[in-house]
Amino acid sequence: MEVKELGHVVLYVRDIERSARFYRDVLGWRQILPAAGGDATLGKVPVAAFNAPSGRTHHELLLIEVGEDAAGMPEGRRIGMYHFGLKIGTSDDELREALAQLKAAGTPVLGMSDHTATHSLYIADPDGNEIELYVDVPGVDWENPAAIGAPVKPLRL
């Protein structure tokens, strides 16, 4: 077997409407389910599906509502997903624009990092799922392991 690409991410969320607004209105994903004015369910559970404006695939993100009484993520070190990354461009100007949009939307930035190969902002969705918004640094040699494993430095935009 050979994995060809990461296809999609599925997240449990407390409130489908709140989370759909965040992914659609703050991050700019294209909502494909439910269709305008409709409902979408998986069994009897509300869902929302999204893809990037590029339309690369049928869906890249699926949200499944589990309700307000669902257990939250434990603090500190734990097993499971740390974050998922979303490439938003190839320049620091695009990252600065994203930072301004996040601030305007009232979305806190949890951190900013220079990974040599990428420059990244870290945020969380309304349920605490961490998201890395990044740009690739032009001219990085992806075949050089030192570029990927370089020490993380603070990012100054």
Whether residue 138 sits in one domain with residue 90: yes
Number of structural domains (the chain) is 2
- pLDDT exceeds 70 at position 114: yes
CB-CB contact of 41 with 47 (8 Å): yes
In a domain, 17, yes or no: yes
Whether residue 149 sits in one domain with residue 96: yes
pLDDT in tens, 15-72: 999 999 999 999 999 999 987 667 777 778 999 999 988 888 889 999 999 999 999 8
In a domain, 74, yes or no: no
Q: What's the CATH code of the domain at 102? A: 3.30.720.110
Domain coverage including residue 31: 9-65
Whether residue 93 sits in one domain with residue 46: no
Cis peptide before 34 (omega within 30 of 0): yes
In a domain, 142, yes or no: yes
Structure pTM? 0.92
What pLDDT sits at residue 37? 66
